Amino acid sequence: MTQVAHTPRVFSGIKPSGGLTLGNYLGAIKRWVDMQGPDFETVYCVVDLHAITVWQDPAELANATREVAAGMLASGIDPKGSVLFNQAQVPAHTQLAWIFNCVARVGWMNRMTQFKDKAGKNAEKVSLGLYAYPALMASDILLYHGTHVPVGEDQKQHVELTRDIATKFNHDYGVDFFPTPEPIIDGPATRVMNLRDGTKKMSKSGESDMERINMTDDADKIAKKFKKARTDPEPLPETLDGLKDRPEARNLVDIFAALSDQTPEAVIGEYAGAGWGKFKPALADLAVAKLAPISAEMARLMNDPAEIDRLLANGAERAEEIAQPILRKTYDIVGLVSSR
């Protein structure tokens, strides 16, 4: 087998299943912005086909798709440098996904912890799409020969499955065609926790709006949510070790670190011994300074949905230019006649 050198290409995606949170921003989008530049080609996708694995109201889905795109643009994704589009406009994603459905084994899918968590006791009633979703995610990445996949901690297992699918495909067909992509899970905020319960992930859904920061929250809301965030009575410790078993405190320190591009150690260095009366207002000010301009820009962009649609269409065309030759070659390898 000849070794094929794969040009470094970043691929990542976000589901438009509701509004963006601070978890999406720190765990994904901010890091995607930082990966733009000469080292990588960067491809970023609003994965609307993933969103419909659970019910989405059609009008809300269309709005959320544009809003997620607006969130990426407002955060600094450059639609000229990066390829930014929504998945449904590039049908090759589902075409390759079918082939991967035939590569992935049922036993592998049964081990996906996110499926088990989401399906819970209701596994018989969830959609087939929710079960197959990791094969579609593998297709998203491998359709572009993606090599680097910046995601939050919760997606690690899906990227590992993508590697397994690439390896099995290459092995079964005796080729060295698909790369085995690396999950990039780094920085202090790969798992931003709920502001009311530091043992749960901050997510788009969830009972109370006070448990998450939405990227559309205005300055007052952001400040209020941080000031009311649950903590414990102890002041901040002298070292990071002192935050063990203090999940809420650790989460706020990590958020502070990620927002200010520092390590959690540096934050502790600065605030050792400080009480919440000092730390929380500082965190609220920092978050407002970083997030309020983004939410204002999102609101401005959302006033002109036609412009967002234009950008997405342009991104989809560029995505297709990369994807089509890879899909055609996959068809050839598999023996699917494609004579037009």
Any contact of residue 75 with ligand AMP (CB under 6 A)?
no
Of the candidates 89, 1, 91, the one whose C-alpha atom is nearest the C-alpha of residue 327 is 91
Among 10, 11, 19, 28, binds ligand AMP (CB under 6 A): 28
- The pair of structure tokens assigned to 32 is 């995607």
Quick check: is 244 catalytic? Answer: no
Q: What is the DSSP letter of 178?
A: S
Phi and psi, residue 323, nearest 5°: -75, -40
Q: Which residues fall within 8 angstroms of residue 85, CB to CB, at 6 or more apart?
A: 45, 46, 312, 313, 315, 316, 318, 319
Residue nearest to ligand AMP (CB): 27
* 327 vs 91: CA distance, rounded Å: 10
Quick check: is 204 catalytic? Answer: yes
- Which parts of 151-275 fold into alpha helices (H)? 156-173, 219-227, 247-259, 264-271
Quick check: is 290 catalytic? Answer: no
C-alpha torsion angle, residues 262, 263, 269, 275 (rounded to 10): 80
Is the Cβ of residue 155 or residue 214 nearer to ligand TRP in the bound state? 155
How far from 170 is each of 108, 301, 322, 330, CA to CA, in Å? 17, 43, 20, 11
Out of 15, 80, 125, 204, the active site residue is 204
Q: How many CA atoms lie within 13 A of 44 on its CB side?
A: 31
Any contact of residue 201 with ligand AMP (CB under 6 A)?
yes
Q: Candidates 2-10, 19-27, 173-181, 291-299: pick the segment binding ligand AMP (CB under 6 A).
A: 19-27
202 contacts which partner out of ligand AMP, ligand TRP, none, CB within 5 to 8 A by kind? ligand AMP
Q: Candidates 21-29, 58-66, 127-135, 310-318: pick the segment binding ligand AMP (CB under 6 A).
A: 21-29
Among 154, 160, 197, 309, binds ligand AMP (CB under 6 A): 154
Is the Cβ of residue 85 or residue 279 nearer to ligand TRP in the bound state? 85
Q: For the window 175-194, what string marks contact with ligand AMP as x by the rule CB under 6 A?
A: --------------xxxx--
Q: Candidates 69-77, 135-143, 251-259, 282-290: pick the segment binding ligand TRP (CB under 6 A).
A: 135-143
Where do we find the tokens 């968590």? 117
- Write out the residues near ligand TRP by the rule CB under 6 A: 11-13, 15, 47, 50, 137, 140-141, 149, 151, 155, 158
